[in-house]
């Protein structure tokens, strides 16, 4: 697997996370008939609308872009949801990403544990990339910490 344009790759992965992960904030409001011939009051739409993100929440993501053949990465992410810190352990082969729902990412650490590939890490909050690491080929960790 070889990716040469990190920002484009991260944008595509984040877009997939948004679509597949259920970024439902773009759904029409009840009574908004923006699609001709389609009622927005059907049961499927009501179910989807009830899953909208809570107040102050957004889709958060940690995305790993790989250049090379193989890699195994491991780390963690601390994000804030409903005013409480949540820590998630992260581990993948040949990368992609993880998504969470919350207010913001407080900190993240990712390191290569095996393989010959290099990697970049992106931290995203909603549509904003709040962190992009340089390309790393060593086993040294990449760290992000939100500025206070």
CA–CA dist 83, 59 (Å, integer): 15
Query: Which residue has better confidence, 136 or 51?
Result: 136
Q: What's the CA angle centered on 147, arms 82 and 19, to 5 degrees?
A: 55
Total domains in the fold of the chain: 1
Percent of the chain with pLDDT over 70: 63
* Within-domain flag for 1: no
pLDDT in tens, 50-96: 344 556 799 999 999 999 999 999 999 999 999 999 999 999 988 78
The token duo for 48 is: 């989807």
* Within-domain flag for 68: yes
Average pLDDT value for residue range 131-145 = 97
* Within-domain flag for 52: yes
The pLDDT mean for the chain works out to 75
Q: What is the pLDDT of residue 55?
A: 66
What is the DSSP pairing of strand 97-102 with strand 84-93?
unpaired
């Amino acid at each position: 697997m070889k990716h040469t344009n990190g920002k484009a790759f991260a944008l595509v992965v984040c877009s997939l996370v948004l679509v597949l992960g259920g970024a439902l904030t773009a759904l029409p409001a009840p009574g908004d008939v923006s699609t001709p011939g389609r009622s927005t009051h059907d049961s499927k739409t009501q179910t989807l609308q009830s899953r909208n993100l809570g107040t102050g929440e957004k889709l958060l993501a940690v995305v790993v872009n790989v250049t090379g053949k193989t890699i195994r990465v491991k780390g963690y992410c601390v994000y804030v949801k409903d005013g409480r810190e949540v820590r998630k352990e992260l581990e993948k082969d040949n990368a992609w990403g993880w998504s969470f729902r919350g207010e913001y990412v407080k900190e993240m650490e990712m390191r290569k544990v095996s393989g010959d590939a290099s990697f970049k890490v992106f931290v995203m909050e909603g549509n904003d990339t709040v962190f992009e690491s340089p390309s790393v080929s060593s086993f040294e960790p990449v760290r992000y910490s939100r500025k206070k």
